[in-house]
């Protein structure tokens, strides 16, 4: 055995220069283009062996690792590397993820920043998944009382684990957005946030195989006939559970921005606006409840 950054690495038949072995494994990744495959492989080396990019300058001899070969096979089967490593970085924090929750996206970090700018005293997250939104907000706004719900017990276990691991203080409970009954003692909130399912069934063909095969469809897809069903309910929840002057911020289907905005306007919300993400796409709707 050899020890690299506290990890035991077994000797196998083949001995390599580290850079040569990395490049050899890189040629075996066929599910991604070379640039993306390289970044994925760096993540694997760091998480599984404790070897960072900088270490490639100092480590020379290296033994081939059977476990890495198995991971390459999983990668080529389009399994997301975040699930393989059970980790994703979001808002500069390491979040635990598994196939019971969606993998947090970089665009959703912008949603967190929008919330932080509003500086709410009380926050409710509808459909929390991994807990990445409420936990990140709670770590940035330690004075805020943060609450979150999800319909999935398995997702709530993931969220609770992240809450504990990262030292946040979010209150979680099981609840259904489509038949919402507030499970918390806090009856009114300054801000309600949600990143609900919004991908239409007929948009599946445009999605990558790794998403379709592995990420939870319950958290992704809505029917073509009623793609705004969750937003319709969120509008109602806001009317009943927002303080006067409170706001709702939702992540949206970029192709349904105007339709989503109209739901809030017709329900009487004020100052409703569509906010673009850093790719320039319609990504969020912000609305204010004035009573």
> What's the pLDDT tens digit per position in 170-190?
999 999 999 999 999 999 999
User: How far is Cα of residue 55 from the mean position of the Cα atoms in its chain?
Assistant: 29
CB-based contact 226:273 (threshold 8 Å)? no
Whether residue 85 is contained in a domain is answered as no
Whether residue 105 is contained in a domain is answered as yes
Split at pLDDT 50, 70, 90, the class of 264 is very high
Co-location of 227 and 277 in the same domain: yes
Measured CA to CA in angstroms, residue 17 lies from 39, 58, 61, 63, 73 at distances of 19, 11, 5, 8, 22
The secondary structure of residue 269, as a DSSP letter, is -
CATH code, 269: 3.40.50.150
Residue 9 pLDDT > 80: no
Whether residue 82 is contained in a domain is answered as no
Co-location of 188 and 280 in the same domain: yes
The secondary structure of residue 92, as a DSSP letter, is T
Which residue, among 229, 214, 242, has the nearest Cα to 118 in the 3D structure?
242
Strands 221-222 and 242-251 turn out to be unpaired
The mean pLDDT of 39-54, rounded to a whole number, is: 92
Domain count, the chain: 2
- Residue 105: which H helix or E strand, with range? none
Whether residue 84 is contained in a domain is answered as no
Q: How much of the chain is helix, strand and coil, in % rounded to 5?
A: 45, 25, 35
Co-location of 114 and 207 in the same domain: yes
The mean pLDDT of 23-39, rounded to a whole number, is: 94
The secondary structure of residue 179, as a DSSP letter, is G
The secondary structure of residue 174, as a DSSP letter, is E
CB-based contact 177:234 (threshold 8 Å)? yes
Whether residue 195 is contained in a domain is answered as yes
Share of the chain above pLDDT 70, in %: 95
Tell me the β-bridge partners of 171.
147
Co-location of 110 and 187 in the same domain: yes
Whether residue 46 is contained in a domain is answered as yes
Measured CA to CA in angstroms, residue 264 lies from 33, 81, 259, 285 at distances of 42, 37, 9, 9
Hunting for tokens 């665009």 — which residue is that?
107
CB-based contact 99:216 (threshold 8 Å)? yes
Query: Which of 16-20, 205-209, 246-250 has the highest mean predicted lDDT (pLDDT)?
Result: 246-250
- Record the pTM: 0.90
Co-location of 73 and 102 in the same domain: no
Co-location of 140 and 229 in the same domain: yes
Co-location of 268 and 131 in the same domain: yes
Residue 202 pLDDT > 50: yes
Co-location of 163 and 283 in the same domain: yes
Domain end point (choices 20, 47, 77)? 77
Co-location of 152 and 221 in the same domain: yes
Which residue, among 17, 35, 14, has the nearest Cα to 26 in the 3D structure?
35
For residue 57, the model assigns a pLDDT of 75
Residue 60 pLDDT > 50: yes
Domain end point (choices 77, 108, 143)? 77
Whether residue 166 is contained in a domain is answered as yes
Whether residue 252 is contained in a domain is answered as yes
Which residues constitute the domain of residue 211?
A: 98-289
- Those residues with Cβ within 8 angstroms of residue 96's Cβ, 6 or more apart along the chain or in another chain: 86, 87, 130, 158, 161, 162, 165
For residue 15, the model assigns a pLDDT of 63
CB-based contact 182:158 (threshold 8 Å)? no
Co-location of 63 and 107 in the same domain: no
CB-based contact 25:68 (threshold 8 Å)? yes
């Amino acid at each position: 055995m050899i020890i690299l950054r506290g990890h035991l690495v077994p000797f196998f038949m083949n001995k390599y220069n580290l850079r040569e072995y990395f490049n050899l494994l890189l040629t075996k990744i066929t599910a991604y283009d070379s640039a993306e495959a390289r970044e994925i492989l760096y993540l694997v080396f760091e998480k599984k062996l404790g070897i960072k990019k900088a270490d490639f300058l100092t480590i020379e001899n290296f033994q081939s690792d059977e476990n890495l070969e198995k991971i390459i096979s999983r990668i080529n089967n389009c399994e997301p590397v975040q699930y393989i490593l059970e980790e994703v970085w979001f808002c500069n924090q390491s979040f635990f993820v598994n196939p019971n929750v969606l993998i947090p996206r970089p665009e959703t970090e912008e949603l967190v920043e929008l919330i932080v700018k509003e500086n709410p005293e009380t926050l409710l997250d509808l459909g929390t998944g991994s807990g990445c939104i409420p936990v990140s907000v709670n770590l940035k706004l330690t004075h805020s009382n943060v609450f979150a719900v999800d319909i999935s017990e398995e997702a709530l276990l993931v969220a609770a684990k992240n809450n504990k691991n990262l030292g946040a203080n979010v209150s979680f409970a099981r609840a259904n957005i489509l038949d919402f009954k507030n499970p918390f003692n806090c009856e009114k909130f300054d801000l309600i946030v949600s990143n609900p399912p919004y991908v239409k069934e007929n948009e599946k063909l445009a999605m990558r195989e790794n998403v379709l095969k592995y990420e939870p469809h319950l958290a992704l897809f809505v029917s073509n006939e009623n793609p705004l069903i969750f937003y319709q309910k969120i509008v109602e929840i806001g009317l009943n559970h927002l303080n006067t002057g409170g706001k709702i911020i939702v992540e949206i289907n970029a192709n349904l921005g105007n339709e989503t905005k109209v739901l809030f306007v017709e329900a009487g919300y004020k100052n409703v606006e569509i906010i673009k993400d850093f790719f320039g796409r319609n990504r969020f709707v912000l609305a204010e409840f004035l009573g």
